Structure 1
Amino acid sequence: MTDRRSTPANARVALTGFASADQREVTPERVSISRPVADLRRDSGQRDRQLLMGEAFDVLERHAGRAFGISARDAYVGYIEEGDLGLPVVPTHTIGVRASHLYPEPDLKSEALLSVSFGTRLVIVDERHKFMETDTGLFVPKSHLRLVAKPFSDPVTIAQLFFGTPYLWGGNSAFGIDCSGLVQAGLLACGEGCPGDSDLQESLGGAATGAMERGDLMFWKGHVAWVVDAGTILHANAHHMAVAYEPMDKAIARIEAQGGGPVTARRRL
């Protein structure tokens, strides 16, 4: 049975090499996300994941106001509103703090026009004292930026930036995030590939043996958490409706008591 999340085809078109007799083979068109956050949806309209400004998306079809294609960061397949797409860019910097703002002038007293999340990718064209100018003519605080070419080193530290962020099913931003989004944010920021959903992430690394270590991943059916230390996890969860720290033993007991089942895997990256 094919997995729609990784199958670059719908009823009408397919990526070259994946087409059946009823589908038209197409070569992808590279674009980028032009809005702060864009929902990546199923054909039915339900949100699966989100993409951030500056991330690349490969369009296979434009139809009825939506673009069907592939997220370049993890090959996740879905639909995005055409209005959320722009010309392809080659980002130079990324937002390296939990969130920031884009301003019309290099002045903190000017009225911010956009709020952007950690992981937003920008093209910087000029430097203005404490601000950097983007290719859209907007300005971002210099201290909030990090070079794309200089990834972070500790994915758990990145996940900790999201502490208190509201839980959002399918969320991938500082405005709302879910358990697998939190794992992916940490790993992508460190230059490590990572699938978008927890069941796919369960194949990462190898089996964790012995005492749990910082950076290990704990899995339940449909859920994943970062291990912060031998007795603490950090996860985006519906119980707290936020990214929260929780004692490991307490979380294991609570999740099982609430019907989430036992831990299914422990992985070391």
Structure 2
Amino acid sequence: MAPVFETPAPDARLATQALHGEILDIFAQDGAFGLARCRRDHYVGWVPMASLSQPVHAPTHKVRTLRTHAYSAPDLKSPPQTVLSLGAHVTASGTQGDYVQCEHAGWVHTRHLAPLGTMEPDPVTTAERYLHTPYLWGGRDSLGLDCTGLTQQAFEAAGVLLPRDSDMQLAWAGDEIVDWKVSGALKRGDILFWKGHAGIMTDTHHLLHANAWHMAVAREPLEDAITRIKTYYAEPVGARRIDIGKLAGRVPDWMAEPVA
């Protein structure tokens, strides 16, 4: 994982994270940092140049488990070289027994990988795998993630790429649910938005979200979440529904539009 900061300083606020195997375009350098655009979702920030490598390898597989070790040899007793989170991309360069050799990473167990084009059928099931993961502003991996990091990871696993921020997701994620305020109108997989926050419905009455109250990914009754967030912050502002069957594998419309 490479941190992408808001400014070129090691103590700057985290903007997002680029997982292993993602491609970043560098437009300028300031000391040890490069001004980068994540090619995956067009997000821009400053990344430590030491986190990057060349040449760019075409990925062949992705990590299918929440987290996995990449070992120094095709042996579970060998020391791990790094750890990879769900959705990280790797380039396979060989196999030995139950292990796949991955460029710039190490040897990963074959059951922890899936071909790059593999899609999960249900984004909610993916989101639930992050349950209890600590909250981290700007995070996208299994050691910590924020609300839209969770929604991004969940839907990307199902083949639908969302923008990084909640206002962008509210504008671009699937279709608006006009009657979302009506009791029972929301269903599994719908995304509910506040200004600056988002969560995924696991059923009509429960919300899963990475949030700063629990400081973790939590599942709770929707009305409890609405009441608490209203007390400390604000009320929801909208909801969106994504047709996985229609959008999976397609280049999203927002990728063709200027994204600030």
Same fold (TM over 0.5): yes
CA distance in 1, matches of 2:174, 2:91: 33
Per the alignment, residue 225 of structure 1 pairs with 199
**Correspondent of 2:63 among 95, 102, 119:** 95
Per the alignment, residue 191 of structure 1 pairs with 159
* 1:87-145, Cα deviation, whole Å (9 max, x unpaired): 11211011111000010111112222212111111001222222111124720011110
CA distance in 2, matches of 1:164, 1:137: 27
Q: Secondary structure at the match of 1:152?
A: coil
Supply the RMSD in Å over aligned alpha carbons: 1.4
Structure 1: stretches of 5+ with no match in the other structure: 1-36
After the TM superposition, which parts of structure 1 deviate over 4 Å for at least 4 consecutive aligned residues? Answer: none
Higher helix share: 2
**Correspondent of 1:261 among 234, 244, 253:** 234
Per the alignment, residue 41 of structure 2 pairs with 74
1:178: Cα distance to partner? 0.5
CA distance in 2, matches of 1:100, 1:116: 5
The one-letter code sitting in structure 2 at the alignment partner of 1:43 is T
Q: Is the counterpart of residue 53 in structure 1 residue 20 in structure 2? A: yes
Q: Secondary structure at the match of 2:150?
A: helix
Which shifted more, 44-53 or 81-90? 44-53
Per the alignment, residue 201 of structure 1 pairs with 169
Which shifted more, 181-190 or 206-215? 206-215
CA distance in 2, matches of 1:207, 1:260: 23
Under a length normalisation based on structure 1, what TM-score does the superposition of the two structures give? 0.83
The answer on whether the counterparts of 2:70 and 2:105 sit within 8 Å (CA) in structure 1 is no
Per the alignment, residue 6 of structure 2 pairs with 42
* 1:171-215, Cα deviation, whole Å (9 max, x unpaired): 010010000100010122222121111111111122223611111
1:153: Cα distance to partner? 2.5
The answer on whether the counterparts of 2:208 and 2:218 sit within 8 Å (CA) in structure 1 is yes
Q: Is the counterpart of residue 176 in structure 1 residue 149 in structure 2? A: no
CA distance in 1, matches of 2:122, 2:189: 8
1:268: Cα distance to partner? 1.0
1:148: Cα distance to partner? 0.7
Alignment of 1:111-122 (within 5 A): 111-122=79-90
The one-letter code sitting in structure 2 at the alignment partner of 1:206 is D
The one-letter code sitting in structure 1 at the alignment partner of 2:215 is M
Which shifted more, 129-138 or 91-100? 129-138
The answer on whether the counterparts of 1:60 and 1:68 sit within 8 Å (CA) in structure 2 is yes
1:77: Cα distance to partner? 1.0
The one-letter code sitting in structure 2 at the alignment partner of 1:229 is D
The answer on whether the counterparts of 1:97 and 1:161 sit within 8 Å (CA) in structure 2 is no
Per the alignment, residue 109 of structure 2 pairs with 141
1:59: Cα distance to partner? 1.0
Under a length normalisation based on structure 2, what TM-score does the superposition of the two structures give? 0.86
1:49: Cα distance to partner? 0.7
CA distance in 2, matches of 1:95, 1:260: 36
The answer on whether the counterparts of 1:220 and 1:260 sit within 8 Å (CA) in structure 2 is no
Which shifted more, 80-89 or 61-70? 61-70
CA distance in 2, matches of 1:240, 1:110: 37
Which structure has more RCO (C-alpha within 8 Å, separation ≥ 6)?
2
Which shifted more, 104-113 or 246-255? 104-113
The answer on whether the counterparts of 1:93 and 1:148 sit within 8 Å (CA) in structure 2 is yes
The one-letter code sitting in structure 1 at the alignment partner of 2:103 is D
